[in-house]
Structure 1
């Protein structure tokens, strides 16, 4: 059947290639997510309570969630990269 899209085949080499590209992108994305959440939290903390631009409670929880998710992905990426480096040194 030519011209028909087929499901990708998963092999060790294709999985390694996709994780070697996807993990750095996830790392950069998590850093951006954590930094943006931190920046918005800092901006919200410096706004006065009577200020119209002060964030609502839901916005503050959302910013905190952004920072937590970003930092979790960052830590998971650091762990993965350290394990990968240790495996390369042993080989």
Structure 2
């Protein structure tokens, strides 16, 4: 179901945060028309918007890892392990070496 709404441009954030907007048509400097797709329960969206109060800065943590360094270490380890893996007298199981299959 599509709904057409003419609003003030200053109110557009309220519609964008709670609706699926198909298109925005400018009328003049103060007004625009929105074509809204009504597939979402508006009461549920409003409840979630009111009840969700998250402080994003609480989730920032210092990252103590580096993908490039981890990749380099893994590559060097694989190069080092290659002779052991191709030796016919040992069987490499992914974590240990055994002389018995």
Q: TM-score, normalised by structure 2?
A: 0.27
- TM normalised by structure 1 equals 0.30
Q: Considering Cα pairs closer than 8 Å and 6+ residues apart, tell me whether 1 or 2 has the greater RCO.
A: 1
Structure with more helix by fraction? 1
Larger Rg: 2
